[in-house]
Structure 1
Amino acid sequence: MSLFTPSALLRPALAAAVMSVLAGCATTAAPQGTPVEASVVTKAVGYLAVRDVPASLNLVPAPPVAGSAAAALDDQISREARALRGSPRFAQATTDAELGFPEGANQFSCAIGMDVDAQKTPALYRLLERSRIDASAATRVAKHHYQRARPFMVNGEPTCTPDDEEGLRKNGSYPSGHTSIGWAWALILSEIVPERADAIQLRGRNYGESRLVCNVHWQSDILEGRFMGAAAVARLHDNPEFQRDLAAARKEIAAARASGAHSSRDCATEEAVLKVRPDSAL
């Protein structure tokens, strides 16, 4: 039998083709112009290209070192916040921990005075979901670099989301991603509904403070999280897609409010609960 049968001739070509595909898979990476992706589940992406995400490692200082006054303040506030375990404020902090959509879209429902719905207010829904990804990405490099241990890892006490603890152990505490997202949302929503800006920004503040109550972040994590959220919003304002959704969201909210839209949450109770500050719990 001849060694040069048709099947024998095809084998080198087939092998070369397979190797070419594998090589392409191995070397292909998200280009710098690709927006940041949240997860393979939602397929949602942020507005910002990777190269445009604020450089957290350059923008935030190193976390407080043991024995410093800043570290002592972190410890003190953490102790006071943990005293709220089992209280209505702790229950609210548990609710605030949810960032997945559609639930996450309504974290500021009481502050803006209406619900956010993917069908009724699609631009606003999209604006919050996509900006969430950008604000989270803005903290990622510093988190990975410092790998700061979270409070529950140090004090051995429970969190408000025990099912999340395994993942949180692998995700650095500094700066706070939830706080970055909450503050970014507060700034964006304040532009859309300026007449409710005070309520919105107060919600942005206590949204971050819920992470203290949950025993998953230190006070310095929260402060630098707000900073990175603001940095992300500053970058977003130069993005055309963000600007289009921002303008569309203004029109949606105006129309929804004119039609009598309101929040379905128990806002009076939520407002009363959120008046309890974690740094004055004792």
Structure 2
Amino acid sequence: MRLNRTLTTLAVSALLAACATGPLNPPAPAVLPTALPPAPPPVPELRPGVPAGYLGRSLPDSLALLPPYPAKGSPGFARDQAVSRASQKLKNTPRYALASRDADLSFPQVAGTFSCALGVPVSAQDTPRLYLLLQRSMVDAGLATYAAKDHYQRTRPFVFYKEKTCAPADEEALRKDGSYPSGHTAIGWAWALLLSELSPAQADAVLARGRAFGENRLICNAHWQSDVLQGRAVGAGAVAVLHANPQFNADMAAARAEINALRGNGVEPQDCTAEAAALKVKIPGVE
């Protein structure tokens, strides 16, 4: 993967900027476990305020990992089109509102994506090591999609159909950023896999939320279904490689201690009613 070249793209610049609003060495959590793991070493930065991922250049090669996307006129593209058109019927529903929120990868907002599924609040204050883990793994999972994205430069559905997305401010950058595979999906699925490992009792809810996070890109008109399906493959590949990284494994252990401490003290996320209602709205032909 040509990481230096990739870091110059608009989409990755936006991805890295999303990390910049969160602290690199967050404050201590409000509820502490009995014995805290040692503090992490200083986190390297890709640029001031932006934490580097764990993997550097050792990313999975999405171009080698994935098949080509479905060509126009193929049965696969016909399925992509059918799902795209069905997903656009969900505008003005609670699921569309959730999809619009999920489109925003900026911290601290995105850190709480899995709070309801996990059953504990996730923030720089409550879970600082988990917060940093999410920041750094987002960079790895997101950048891992770019070997294929840059090669294929697939047209996104909102461009293909001359329509809008759920995030108009992002559209100019998205027009220049390949659709295949979905970076949002790779990130969301990587997070779902990591969090289900950290909290196995909540795995079903966490994985379902990770699936919805990626499929919300269909509702946003930003990706085709094949982009989303292969985004999961890249996210899983990134997680597999991450498990060979010692600092990642140390941060996983620290994050697990934070989650257990909050749960042991009965700390729960804020009202999850709206999210639960949104997730009950299904995409026709997908769920």
TM-score band by shorter chain is 0.7 to 0.9
Q: Deviations over 1:189-217 (max 9, x none)?
A: 00111000000000010110100000000
Partner of 1:158: 164
Q: Does residue 279 in structure 1 map to residue 287 in structure 2? A: no
CA contact (8 A) 2:94 2:277 kept: no
Q: Which structure shows the bigger proportion of residues in helix conformation?
A: 1
**Where in structure 2 are the equivalents of 1:63-82 lying within 5 Å?**
63-82=69-88
CA distance in structure 2 between the partners assigned to 1:170 and 1:279 by the alignment: 29
| Unaligned ranges ≥5, structure 1 | 1-28, 31-35
Q: Does residue 140 in structure 1 map to residue 146 in structure 2? A: yes
Q: Deviations over 1:13-51 (max 9, x none)?
A: xxxxxxxxxxxxxxxx96xxxxx993446321100021x
Tell me the amino acid that sits aligned with residue 121 of structure 2.
Answer: D
TM-superposed CA distance for 1:268, in Å, is 2.4
Partner of 2:130: 124
Q: Give the paired residue count.
A: 246
Partner of 1:23: none
Q: Does residue 42 in structure 1 map to residue 53 in structure 2? A: no
One of 249, 252, 259 as aligned partner of 2:265 = 259
| Unaligned ranges ≥5, structure 2 | 5-11, 18-46
Partner of 1:11: none
TM-superposed CA distance for 1:272, in Å, is 2.1
State the structure with more CA Rg.
Answer: 1
CA distance in structure 2 between the partners assigned to 1:157 and 1:41 by the alignment: 36
CA distance in structure 1 between the partners assigned to 2:234 and 2:282 by the alignment: 22
CA distance in structure 1 between the partners assigned to 2:94 and 2:125 by the alignment: 32
Partner of 2:245: 239
Tell me the amino acid that sits aligned with residue 238 of structure 1.
Answer: A
**Where in structure 2 are the equivalents of 1:221-236 lying within 5 Å?**
221-236=227-242
Partner of 1:3: none
Partner of 1:18: none
TM-superposed CA distance for 1:280, in Å, is 4.0
Tell me the amino acid that sits aligned with residue 273 of structure 1.
Answer: A
TM-score normalised per structure 2: 0.83
Q: Does residue 91 in structure 1 map to residue 114 in structure 2? A: no
Q: Does residue 184 in structure 1 map to residue 181 in structure 2? A: no
Q: Does residue 57 in structure 1 map to residue 57 in structure 2? A: no
- SS of corresponding position for 2:50: coil
Q: Deviations over 1:157-191 (max 9, x none)?
A: 21100010000001100000000000000000001
Tell me the amino acid that sits aligned with residue 279 of structure 2.
Answer: L
Q: Does residue 196 in structure 1 map to residue 202 in structure 2? A: yes
One of 271, 274, 283 as aligned partner of 1:269 = 274
CA contact (8 A) 2:59 2:144 kept: yes
Segments of 4+ in structure 1 off by > 4 A? none
| Percent identity between the two aligned chains | 54
Tell me the amino acid that sits aligned with residue 64 of structure 1.
Answer: P
Partner of 1:215: 221
CA distance in structure 1 between the partners assigned to 2:70 and 2:120 by the alignment: 39
Tell me the amino acid that sits aligned with residue 117 of structure 1.
Answer: S
How much is the aligned-residue C-alpha RMSD, in angstroms?
1.6
Q: Deviations over 1:86-119 (max 9, x none)?
A: 2211111001111111111111111101211213
Partner of 2:37: none
- SS of corresponding position for 2:71: coil
Tell me the amino acid that sits aligned with residue 278 of structure 1.
Answer: I
CA contact (8 A) 2:94 2:281 kept: no
Q: Deviations over 1:214-238 (max 9, x none)?
A: 0000000000000000000000000
- SS of corresponding position for 2:54: strand
Q: Deviations over 1:254-281 (max 9, x none)?
A: 11111121112x3122112112222349
CA distance in structure 2 between the partners assigned to 1:179 and 1:139 by the alignment: 10
TM-superposed CA distance for 1:249, in Å, is 0.6
- SS of corresponding position for 1:173: coil
Q: Does residue 248 in structure 1 map to residue 254 in structure 2? A: yes
- SS of corresponding position for 2:90: coil
- SS of corresponding position for 1:47: coil
